[in-house]
Amino acid sequence: MTDLRLCECASTLIDILAGDHLSLLDGDTANTGKMSCKATLFSCLAKVLAISTMNSHASYPSTKSTKGRGPLFPWGAEKTVNLILKQTVIPYLEISAKGDCTITQRVSYCYGAIECLHLLLKNPNRELHLEYMDHIGIDNTTQLSKHAAAILAPLVVDVLPDGKENQQINPLRKRTLDAISHFWEWSYESFEKGQQASTHATDQSMAVLMSSQCMAAALNGAQKDQNDSYEIDVSTVARILQAMVQNKGLRIYQPKFLYILTLLCLAYPNACARHWHLFLEQSAVKESPLISVLEQSTAALGSHNFEGNSWIALPSSLRATSSLVAAMPLSLWISGEGRPSMRISGGNLSLRVRNALLITLKCIFDLMSAIKVRLSSSECLSNTISSSHASMEIVMMQISELASKLCTKISFNGENSVLLEPASKLVQCAGHIYVHSAKTIATKAFTSKSELENTLLFKAMSSFGNFIIECLGASTSGTRFPLCSVPSGNWLSDASSYDFIGLLLTDSYWPHQLSKDRMEMLSALAQSSPSAFAREPYNLALFVELCVTQCKSQNDAETRMQGLKLIEAFILGRKKFSAEFITNNAICSVIPGTFCPLLLVALEDNSAAVRACAVSSFGSLVRQDWNCLFLPDRDSDAVVLIDWSTLKSILRLCSSNEEGIATVRASSCKAIGEICSACIGDAVCEKEDDTNHDVPFADAFVHDFTCKICDVIVNVFHDDIASVRSMALFAIGNTALALKECYRERFAPHLSPSMKQLFPSACECLGDRDEKVVANAIRSVSHIAYFVYHPGYFSDVDDASAVFVYRALLSKLSAKLNFALDDAVGESPVGLTWKQRNGAKKHAWGSCTTLGILLSFSNMQSHLDNELLELAIGSLLRCVQLSNIIHEKITAAAINAIAGLPISLWQYLSCKCDSIGRGLATCFGFLSEKKSITSYHKDVESMANLLIVNAKKTDFCTLFLLQESIPFSAEVFYHWLVAQDVDVGVLEEISAAVSQLPQILDVSVAQMFLSRTVQQHIRQDLSCKVDDSSLLLDENNDDEL
């Protein structure tokens, strides 16, 4: 049958069904017949939709253009949904919910309509098979069919005649979810009644299955909701779901129900977390559905029963448990022992959750132990894919995911320490499986990597290897120093991990097909826990030997790269735990003595990736390493000469004249910045004495070091590649910051020429076309400016040009700050993309800090006019005024900048411009509006006190005149004066301002300030009289004596 003919059939059925549904509310026999007739017609319509879907698959292969078309696609998704769902199915289901028929009749009458709804919701290109649903992965990012998108879209968009879009809440979404929820309840209630009556429940069980399929399709289209407002009754759905999972008559559908639980946790995590006890809590009188499946599956695995319902449901059960654990705020719940908010009906929540976790950890360990026994069979080396192998693979993947979440998400301190031992056993068992799998694989020769990958042992090694890497923290994206989980650290410090470490360091166990897997695990271990190698000298020697062998591979750049990655990971891990290894002579000698020569050779490698990795490793060295590199012959009696060869080799790669690959140049510049922090930071520029033998960096060294860096980096500012320019600015910014910290208590005039040489070039980068370059330029300028404008370095005679740059900087930074603020309030002259807006926020944040530093140089005040100062301070104050709509970091940076301005600046500005008055209005506007105490609240209070003390009559006049443009409460201002017991001199200035503005302030407000001034005068006079009386009394006493 053609698609057009199917559309005609559907149109005829819709015309018949779209009659008066209200007449169906009458409960007589005739209307019962009408309901039965309509139910049959809906079943026919469902058949038409099913045939149309099959036709779409047969005639139109799934491509990007045809994907998700679904049934009756000649009509289009919107027309199909409107005719079938909006005009027919939903009204019918809503009327059926109000009828007088029994639950069983209601299910029978609505089955066909729900089937139509399901056919529209499901994705025709992605049929889920229950036994493999956990293998393909389940999440809320799955692309919906076009019909489902039209039904479940949160908003609908109408285009108005003038071309503007009008967004409205989609009413069909709520009506559809309500209809599905109602049928979900009816179907299970009908099934339970059939069970109680011992009648044939086939039809009822099919209705339960259909309602479950519809619920799954709806939840798959629901967006993740972190709020407390939900479109469905999650509590009811969860309770029915618990009953379905535990119902023995529905055991065959258990995977489907657990799949729905996973989707429910993904769509409504907060609501599901509140019902964790329905699925995880177990006691003597209460059985946990999820724990029960895990226990039964362990028994099935031990008896090699891979056909039973428990084993089939295991992947779904593991995934549901993992999703539920991810939704539960464990760090909050199990740390709330004794807190009233953590006590709910049924006992202490922390204790209950902790007990549930103990049982869950035990079940997972038992299951992993059963898998370890299963992997000992000879068939695990076979590369023949069987159904039992496929199910085992899925189970191992899901166990690893669940175990990873438990070991990394739980806090093991305090009373939660009881969870540490069972969690550590999981990592230990995973390590045993990994070792057993690797050793067994080494006993057989494989002709190809694909042949090896098809074995169950390799899949076990891969799954549990990923679990170990997760626990080591090495998979954390964007984290330079990953945090090793407590259970994995506990395992690595125990003797049970020795076989695992020895396996990784023994070449004979590793065929070439597993070389990459081995290096990945070694890198994760070296970066997260270098002490695992350093604990045994033999292990450390093997690790060093492996790194040397890999790095010296002549014909394979990938092998050399693996060796360098191992070195980089070890150096990073040592840097993270530098305090732990400070006295370890083996570590202190192996890095500069063995690894650094390998890194130096790698700087000359033909591979750009190898060179980039080498310079990154140099950037992670600590000052002890550089001590050895700069002074290799320090222990000899000869004259000590600094060896600059390593630094020069890295600097050479910063220049485009020497290095043609931009990524290498950028990595080199970044490494230079980190080297500066390590060598000349505040921790290493202390005065040398007999107890500090590892600090060779005297003033002469710092001068030469800085000059060499500045001479090279100043030219890199003009590199053609933005990332290189950005990292060059990062390097100079770090250099200047380290120098500031090093010489914060004394001046170093010999450093000023180098900084002044590159300062204009750094300032020019503020106009760069790349946003990241500008952001780093703002940061670098703030640090370099110290050596240009600080009174100890600035000279009016020699630095005339620097004044011009200083004025330009204030103007540019104020403009950048105001640009971001204009965009925040919708006054930007041009529309910004998300990326541009994000860049503007970062520039504003940095501009606040840099403006504060530039304005803190009191010696520069005489070189500025009031207009420029007013512009710079006004932009900072504007950040505080807009604190409710801009990023909190910008507000905090602005407040810190203003609070750090010298008192002399406010004294200079008093009565010269409106800055003090505007500042007072800003402070009291902020204090009037902010209901919650922020981290910078006290800074605003301190700033208000400072401005009040330095303000004069003109400034207070400005304050009251700005009340309309910068709203603040005069009452709050008055009560603040009273609370702070402000001096009478300040009150006189305020009274003079109030008297000068009778038309601005209400009479009652003006009278408050005038009365307070009078009262303060009286108090002061009385205090003086009391003091005089005391003096007279003391004099009389003296005379008597």
Of 490-504, 576-590, 919-933, the one with minimum mean pLDDT is 576-590
Please give the backbone phi and psi of residue 456, each rounded to the nearest 5 degrees, phi first: -70, -30
**Residues with Cβ within 8 Å of residue 413, at least 6 apart in sequence:** none
Q: Half-sphere exposure of residue 715, counting CA atoms within 13 Å on the CB side?
A: 13
The mean pLDDT value for 383-396 works out to 78
**Residues with Cβ within 8 Å of residue 756, at least 6 apart in sequence:** 787, 788, 799, 802
Q: pLDDT value at position 342?
A: 46
Of 57-61, 418-422, 495-499, 578-582, the one with minimum mean pLDDT is 57-61
The mean pLDDT value for 395-417 works out to 91
Q: pLDDT value at position 455?
A: 87
Amino acid at 655: S
pLDDT tier at 886 (50, 70, 90 boundaries)?
confident
The answer to whether the CB of 561 falls within 8 A of the CB of 607 is yes
Please give the backbone phi and psi of residue 133, each rounded to the nearest 5 degrees, phi first: -65, -30
Has this prediction a pTM greater than 0.75? Answer: yes
pLDDT tops 60 at residue 1025: no
Q: pLDDT value at position 372?
A: 92
* Integer angstrom CA distances of residue 589 from 343, 541, 641, 991: 55, 12, 20, 74
pLDDT tops 90 at residue 838: no
pLDDT tops 80 at residue 957: yes
The answer to whether the CB of 196 falls within 8 A of the CB of 233 is no
Nearest one of 862, 854, 956 to 901, comparing CA atoms = 854
Q: pLDDT value at position 163?
A: 57
The answer to whether the CB of 492 falls within 8 A of the CB of 471 is no
Query: Residues 975-1006: pLDDT tens digits?
Result: 888 888 888 888 888 888 888 877 777 777 78
Where is pLDDT greater, at 534 or 832? 534
Task: Give the single-character DSSP code of 484.
Answer: P
SS3 812: helix
Give 3-state DSSP helix, strand, coil % of the chain, rounded to 5.
70, 0, 30
The mean pLDDT value for 467-481 works out to 69
Burial label, 752 (beta-carbon count in 10 A; 0-12, 13-18, 19+): buried
**Residues with Cβ within 8 Å of residue 426, at least 6 apart in sequence:** 361, 364, 365, 368, 403, 406, 407, 487
Q: pLDDT value at position 665?
A: 95
SS3 167: strand
The answer to whether the CB of 361 falls within 8 A of the CB of 426 is yes
Q: pLDDT value at position 477?
A: 45
| CA gap 735, 723 in Å, rounded | 18
- Find how far residue 695's CA is from the centre of its chain: 38
**Residues with Cβ within 8 Å of residue 210, at least 6 apart in sequence:** 111, 114, 115, 118, 187
pLDDT tops 90 at residue 967: no
Nearest one of 263, 279, 410 to 323, comparing CA atoms = 263
Helix (H) or strand (E) holding 91: helix 90-96
pLDDT tier at 357 (50, 70, 90 boundaries)?
very high
Task: Give the single-character DSSP code of 165.
Answer: E
| CA gap 337, 411 in Å, rounded | 13
Strand pairing report for 343-344 and 347-348: antiparallel
pLDDT tops 50 at residue 472: yes
Helix (H) or strand (E) holding 343: strand 343-344
**Residues with Cβ within 8 Å of residue 329, at least 6 apart in sequence:** 273
The answer to whether the CB of 280 falls within 8 A of the CB of 323 is no
| CA gap 224, 262 in Å, rounded | 12
Query: Residues 188-242: pLDDT tens digits?
Result: 999 988 887 766 567 788 889 999 999 988 888 766 554 545 678 889 999 999 9
Of 408-417, 466-475, 1017-1026, the one with minimum mean pLDDT is 1017-1026
Task: Give the single-character DSSP code of 159.
Answer: E
Q: pLDDT value at position 972?
A: 84
Query: Residues 165-194: pLDDT tens digits?
Result: 667 788 888 899 999 999 999 999 999 888
Where is pLDDT greater, at 347 or 265? 265
- The b/e string for 29-42 (b: 16+ C-beta within 10 A; e otherwise) is eebbebbeebbebb
The answer to whether the CB of 564 falls within 8 A of the CB of 604 is no
Please give the backbone phi and psi of residue 347, each rounded to the nearest 5 degrees, phi first: 115, -170
The answer to whether the CB of 412 falls within 8 A of the CB of 486 is yes
The answer to whether the CB of 700 falls within 8 A of the CB of 740 is no
